[in-house]
């Protein structure tokens, strides 16, 4: 028997009408009828009893519906597994922190694509906490994260460091400074970005969190809103140095202390690397991250 015969038979079982079954299978009624007759010859008995305008399954037909239905489900499961197997060799699900510098990301992705033209890449943008959970549950294969600390089950590969800058509007007093000591933040109106890893990097240096002396006026997650608020002189904020800035925003290096974030490629310790994951790690290790610079 052939798969199209099984499909025609099961559709006829569902509709109990050869004309409707043929329409749904997009074949002629004679073609569907011949396929079912071929099954009847193979099974040695009638599968349907047709009486005037009524069609019924015979006892043999009901029995074969169970077996052939299971056969179709097994075939579809085999096809799904085959697709997953093929995907494992060509697909890569990459999670990327939302504040990843665009030039660094696109340069890396271009190099990765040149190394494997058949690679099918799925890129998901999220914050560090969401990336960690997605990596833990296998929703992504690999992550580019700026988290300050990693759990034992995570294997980070350091890529590059990125210093923190203070962003402010034109005409702000910081414009007269070559660099801005953290102590100068005191009393300033501040635009706080949700999920920002800036405070965590202070903890890494055993320094108190930096938001104790500023006046937090706005809290948001969208980068365009945060920058728009700074441009409108609603407050200052801290940004990684390679993040694209809106026109007009001024920046200076944060010093005393100078704080940076580490951008890392993260995999799951002990989880075997598929070919795409292994390629992504090799490419990341050899990519010239520090030579890209800012905008």
On average, the pLDDT of the chain sits at: 89
Q: How many CB atoms lie within 10 A of CB 7?
A: 19
The domain over range 3-87 is classified in CATH as 1.10.10.10: yes
What is the C-alpha to C-alpha distance for residues 210 and 183, in angstroms, rounded to an integer?
9
Q: From CA 146, how far away is CA 161, in angstroms rounded?
A: 9
Confidence grade of residue 295 (pLDDT, cut at 50, 70, 90): very low
Query: What per-residue confidence (pLDDT) applies to 82?
Result: 72
- Tell me the backbone φ, ψ of residue 108, rounded to 5 degrees: -65, -45
Residue-level pLDDT at 288? 94
Residue 108 has pLDDT above 80, yes or no: yes
Distance CA(97)–CA(147), nearest Å, equals 9
CB 29 within 8 Å of CB 18: yes
Are 265 and 281 spatial neighbours (Cβ–Cβ below 8 Å)?
Answer: yes
pLDDT at 123: 94
Short-list 76, 79, 77, 72, CA closest to 7: 72
pLDDT band, residue 207 (cuts 50/70/90): low
* Residue with the larger pLDDT of the pair 117 and 162: 162
Span 192-198, average pLDDT: 74
Look at residue 109 in the predicted model and tell me its pLDDT: 94
Rounded Cα–Cα distance for residues 149 and 142 (Å): 16
The domains of the chain are located at 3-87, 90-160+262-291, 161-260
Q: What is the pTM of this model?
A: 0.65
User: For 54-95, what is each residue's pLDDT tens digit?
Assistant: 889 999 999 999 999 999 999 888 887 776 666 556 789 999
Helix (H, G, I), strand (E, B) or coil at 147: coil
Matching CATH number, 90-160+262-291, of 3.10.580.10, 3.40.50.12660, 3.40.190.10, 3.40.50.720:
3.40.190.10
For 181, how many CA atoms within 13 A lie in the half-sphere containing its CB? 4
138 vs 203, more confident: 138
Residue 289 near residue 242 (C-beta atoms within 8 A)? no
Q: What is the pLDDT of residues 149-169, one digit of tens each?
A: 899 999 999 999 999 999 999
Q: Which of 117-131, 204-218, 281-295 has the lowest mean pLDDT?
A: 204-218
Fold match between domain 90-160+262-291 and domain 161-260: yes
Correct CATH for 161-260 of 2.30.33.40, 3.40.190.10, 3.40.50.300, 3.90.1170.20: 3.40.190.10
State residue 202's pLDDT score. Answer: 65
Determine the Cα–Cα distance for residues 215 and 45; give it in Å rounded to an integer.
Answer: 85
pLDDT in tens, 20-43: 999 999 999 999 999 999 999 999
């Amino acid at each position: 028997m052939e798969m199209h015969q099984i499909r025609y038979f099961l559709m006829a079982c569902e509709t109990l009408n050869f004309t409707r079954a043929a329409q749904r299978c997009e074949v002629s009624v004679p073609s569907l009828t011949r396929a079912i007759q071929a099954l009847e010859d193979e099974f040695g008995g009638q599968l349907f009893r047709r009486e005037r305008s009524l069609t019924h399954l015979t006892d043999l037909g009901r029995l074969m519906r169970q077996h052939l239905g299971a056969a179709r489900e097994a075939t579809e499961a085999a096809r799904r597994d085959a697709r997953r197997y093929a995907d494992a060799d060509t697909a890569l699900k990459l999670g990327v922190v939302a504040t990843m510098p665009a030039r660094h990301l696109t340069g890396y992705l271009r190099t990765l694509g040149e190394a494997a033209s058949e690679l099918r890449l799925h890129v998901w943008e999220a914050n560090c906490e969401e990336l960690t959970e997605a990596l833990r549950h296998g929703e992504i294969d690999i992550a580019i994260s700026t988290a300050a600390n990693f759990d034992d089950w995570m294997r980070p590969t350091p890529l590059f460091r990125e210093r923190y800058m203070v962003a402010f509007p034109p005409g702000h007093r910081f414009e007269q400074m070559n660099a801005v000591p953290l102590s100068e933040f005191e009393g300033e109106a501040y635009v706080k970005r949700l999920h920002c890893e800036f405070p965590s990097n202070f903890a890494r240096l055993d320094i108190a969190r930096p938001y104790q002396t500023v006046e937090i006026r706005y809290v948001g997650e969208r980068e365009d809103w945060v920058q728009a608020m700074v441009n409108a002189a609603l407050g200052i904020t801290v940004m990684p140095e390679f993040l694209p800035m809106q026109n007009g925003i001024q920046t200076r290096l944060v010093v005393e202390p100078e704080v940076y974030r580490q951008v890392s490629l993260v995999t799951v310790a002990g989880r075997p690397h598929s070919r795409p994951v292994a390629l992504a790690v090799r490419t990341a290790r050899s990519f010239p991250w520090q030579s890209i610079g800012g905008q």
